[in-house]
Structure 1
Amino acid sequence: MSIWWSLQLRREAASVPLARRLLLGAMEAAGVDADISHELCVALSEACSNAVRHGGGHSENYQVTASIHGDVCRIEVTDSGPGFPADAFLARPEPRELQQDGRGMRLIEALADRVRFDNQPGSGGAVVTFDKVLKWREGALLRAS
């Protein structure tokens, strides 16, 4: 069994906890381990906060898509802002060297098993995609066989 959901949210600070609560509810209902659920929610909060802060452009909204297939949860946050600069990921400073911007992306990288930062082709806008291998509670509803 698998689940999939998608949200279109306004670029407002209040949308971040809403997305987090919806993800947490889905994880709890599916039977995902609480520690894994917490890590996913923190990573989602960072991605959504970036979309709210930097995702301006031709839309006042951003989109969150989440899915569970087997033992992997994939989350994608897409906005319509200017996207990531072409050289954004060439120089990877150590955490102690990071300034105000960029820490959220490093946190997502630390919490997820696979992360991709891209730009939407043509229209612009950032796309943050991350995967996390799930652990399940005893009796979980979606546990892969």
Structure 2
Amino acid sequence: MSMWWSLQLRREAASVPLARRLLLGAMETAGVDPEISYDLSLALTEACANAVEHGTGEHCTDEPGAGGTGRTGEHSDDAYRVTAYLDGDRCRIEVADTGPGFGRRGKSGKPGPLDRAAVDAEDGRGLFLIESLADHVRFRDHADCGGGAVVSFDKTLKWRGDRRFGDAGALLKAS
């Protein structure tokens, strides 16, 4: 059994815990080991915080009711998207924003998000934290709609006791 969900969120700090709580709730219901859930929720928090801080302008969407009309290439201002997939023994998460992307510098001339942070820097470690918490990580720029960053990461799931996603008894016990 598999499941997925996708959220289009406003680029506001309050959106970050919402995405994290939804992920944690889905993983608890599915019977995922709490340590794995914590790692993925921390990685998601970092990716969402980066989208809130660095995302700008317009966001591509093709979903009606989410700022779009169902046509590819439609834009919604000040939003980013979080998509999570739990499929078998893997969880894959993708966070897409509309900032300057990776490898490009913004109008301010500040370093891009993949530039190494100084040892005493207050910020700039989020993407490296994601890399340490996930099994596989990919940073890329949007291919369409004029830019933005996409952070995708996945991790092999471990299960809590006898509970496992796809086991109807486990899902019934959780509700």
1:102 is displaced (CA, Å) by: 2.8
TM-score w.r.t. structure 2 length?
0.74
Q: Which has the higher helix share?
A: 1
1:97 is displaced (CA, Å) by: 3.6
Is the 8 Å Cα contact of residues 102 and 114 (structure 2) preserved in structure 1?
no
Q: Residue type of the partner of 1:43?
A: A
Is the 8 Å Cα contact of residues 116 and 129 (structure 1) preserved in structure 2?
yes
Question: Using the alignment, how far apart are the partners of 2:124 and 2:2 within structure 1?
Answer: 32
Question: Using the alignment, how far apart are the partners of 2:140 and 2:121 within structure 1?
Answer: 21
Question: Gaps spanning 5+ residues in structure 1: where?
Answer: none
Q: Residue type of the partner of 1:20?
A: R
Q: Identical aligned pairs, as a percentage?
A: 61
How many aligned positions are there? 142
TM-score w.r.t. structure 1 length?
0.89
CA RMSD of aligned residues (A): 2.2
Q: Which has the larger radius of gyration?
A: 2
1:72 and 2:90 matched: yes
Is the 8 Å Cα contact of residues 71 and 143 (structure 1) preserved in structure 2?
no
Question: Using the alignment, how far apart are the partners of 1:27 and 1:34 within structure 2?
Answer: 8
Question: Gaps spanning 5+ residues in structure 2: where?
Answer: 59-76, 106-111, 168-175
1:132 corresponds to: 155
| Off by >6 Å, runs of 4+ in structure 1 | none
1:54 corresponds to: 54
Matches within 5 A, 1:1-145: 1-58=1-58, 59-86=77-104, 93=116, 97=119, 99-122=121-144, 123-142=146-165
Higher relative contact order (CA 8 A, sep 6+): 1
